Amino acid sequence: MLIIGSHVSFNKNEQLLGSVKEALGYGSNTFMFYTGAPQNTNRSDINESLIKEADKLMKENGIDKNKVIVHAPYIINLANDSKSYDFSINFLKQEIDRCAKLGIKNIVLHPGSHVGLGELKGLDNIVFALKEILKDDKGVKILLETMAGKGSELGKTTDELKYIIDNVNRCNLGVCLDTCHLHDSGVDLNNFEEYLKEFNEKIGIDKIGCIHVNDSMNGISSHKDRHANIGFGNIGFDTLINIIYNPLFEDIPKILETPYVTKMDDSKERVYAPYKSEIDMIKNKKFNSNMINELRVN
């Protein structure tokens, strides 16, 4: 069965319950969220009774909580040990504790940017930090995201991810593939089988715990990391459908992180979440070139 969802919000009033409601509104059977603003450290206390309500709603609607994903805040950078390294390590530990409290078993992490230290030093910093963070097993798996290679981002090649995974050498460390990032890093997704073969030889397909499904605004190897709506970018609908429905990924959650659409309606500028429409297209395996025009408030 297709496990599909999108990025959703997590607000302090409804917390996980609000996230589940939002996901269900898009026709999703999974979802991903940040436990607070991705760019700061303000975090509200976890409300236990909201978790219970959320769990009940998930159960009623066939959402497997084990597949739900948290995304670590992008202020965390484990690759550079000259600035806020200890902060990053401690904050990621706290985020993992929050996941454990919420009952979420997977957290996606950007490996980090070396910011001038060089790739090898950056990778070694990531390895050191992850060993420290994963020392005690909280039942939460870190999924390293494949990156576009913007600036000095690491994790832009299978070899870099392999280096981290091999040297950290813990079973609670996996990978999250991001289609936009792979494309922007130079992977030809029309030849996805070839990529998977290499990935399997070097890292192992069993390490994949999540797939971010995004189209890309830019060409292959652009290293830009700008997501486009499904079928409206340079990757294209059919190529993404091919990846989404790959039988090897049947049990892996697919998460959309495509951009909200801003357009004029009734002479007012309005912002729409594209997820319900995109998930419909994916379920029907049929591209709707008019999708953006058809977005309406309801």
Contact set with Fe ion (CB under 5 A): 145, 178, 212
- Minimum CB distance to Fe ion, residue 33 (Å): 12
Closer CB to Fe ion, 93 or 150, in the complex? 150
Closer CB to Zn ion, 24 or 232, in the complex? 232
Per-position x/- string for 188-227, each x denoting binding to Zn ion as judged by CB under 5 A, each - no binding: -------------------------------------x--
- Minimum CB distance to Zn ion, residue 157 (Å): 16
Pairwise CA distance, residues 209 & 129, whole Å: 21
Pairwise CA distance, residues 191 & 179, whole Å: 12
> Containing H/E element for 208?
strand 208-213
Q: Pick one of Zn ion, Fe ion, none as the site partner of residue 212 (Cβ within 5 to 8 A by kind).
A: Fe ion
Q: Pick one of Zn ion, Fe ion, none as the site partner of residue 225 (Cβ within 5 to 8 A by kind).
A: Zn ion
Q: Pick one of Zn ion, Fe ion, none as the site partner of residue 215 (Cβ within 5 to 8 A by kind).
A: none
Could you count the other beta carbons within 10 Å of the beta carbon of residue 13?
9
DSSP-derived secondary structure letter, 4: E
- Minimum CB distance to Zn ion, residue 129 (Å): 21
Closer CB to Zn ion, 134 or 154, in the complex? 154
Do 212 and 179 contact (CB within 8 A), yes or no? yes
Pairwise CA distance, residues 234 & 184, whole Å: 10
Closer CB to Zn ion, 200 or 218, in the complex? 218
CA proximity to 68, closest of 94, 103, 96: 103
For Zn ion, the nearest residue by Cβ is 225
Amino acid making up residue 136: D
Token pair for 180: 């936009």
Phi, psi of 197 (to 5 degrees): -60, -50
Closer CB to Fe ion, 81 or 145, in the complex? 145
- Minimum CB distance to Zn ion, residue 278 (Å): 16
- Minimum CB distance to Zn ion, residue 17 (Å): 27
Could you count the other beta carbons within 10 Å of the beta carbon of residue 59?
11
- Minimum CB distance to Fe ion, residue 254 (Å): 11
Residue position matching structure tokens 């996606």: 108
Q: Is 145 in the site for Zn ion (CB under 5 A)?
A: no
